[in-house]
């Protein structure tokens, strides 16, 4: 997303134990916001003066939180569970500098999953696996994953994994990118 927006950056993954944070919290918005901030804080230890962006997304359905599937069988189980239900995808982004959180933003989108037949799920995973295995909701909206849904209420970029427009505004406010 940052590439397409023309924002220069260097990727540097964090080594945060996401499971520990998820075990301590149960609200999707708090989890996403905390993970985004903690990831950025972790990376800022290696880049003290740089502005660091961290982000994270959480999927919940009927109060149950979902992680990325560990394998194709679990992906199939997730998709079966999502069928004919509303998926809440919550994405957060944080900006950190010098070990301090300067800004955070959280948004949620509601994705109305249509009824998915076992045949559809099998065909879908045949076409999209393993790429969707890296996605918490087992879909990429910019690919065949769009076929999972009857309706979507929410921001496109939030669904892709980061509330981009608010982030760009925060970067402009801090004169990190030109306004």
73 is catalytic: no
Catalytic residue, chosen from 12, 26, 56, 123, is 56
d(Cα 73, Cα 8) in Å, to the nearest integer?
A: 38
Which of the 8 DSSP states describes residue 148? G
Q: What are phi and psi of 23, to 5 degrees?
A: -70, -25
Q: Closest Cα to residue 169, out of 91, 105, 90, 109? A: 105
Helices (H), the chain: 2-5, 18-24, 28-44, 72-82, 118-128, 156-160, 164-173
Catalytic residues: 56
């Amino acid at each position: 997303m940052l590439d397409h927006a023309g924002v220069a950056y260097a990727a540097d993954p964090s080594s945060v134990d996401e499971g520990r944070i998820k075990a301590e919290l149960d609200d999707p918005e708090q989890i996403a916001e905390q993970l985004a901030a903690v990831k950025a804080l972790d990376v800022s230890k290696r880049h003290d003066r740089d502005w660091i962006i961290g982000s994270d997304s959480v999927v919940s359905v009927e109060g149950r939180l979902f992680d990325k599937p560990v394998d194709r069988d679990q992906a199939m189980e997730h998709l079966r569970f999502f069928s004919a239900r509303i998926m809440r995808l919550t994405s957060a982004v944080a900006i950190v500098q010098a070990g301090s959180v300067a800004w955070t933003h959280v948004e949620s989108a509601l994705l109305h999953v249509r009824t998915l037949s076992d045949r559809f799920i099998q065909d879908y995973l045949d076409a999209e696996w393993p790429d969707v295995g890296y996605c918490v909701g087992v879909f990429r909206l910019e690919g065949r994953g769009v076929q999972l849904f009857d309706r979507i209420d929410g921001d496109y970029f939030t669904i892709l994994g980061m509330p981009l427009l608010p982030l760009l505004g925060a970067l402009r406010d801090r004169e990190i990118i030109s306004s």
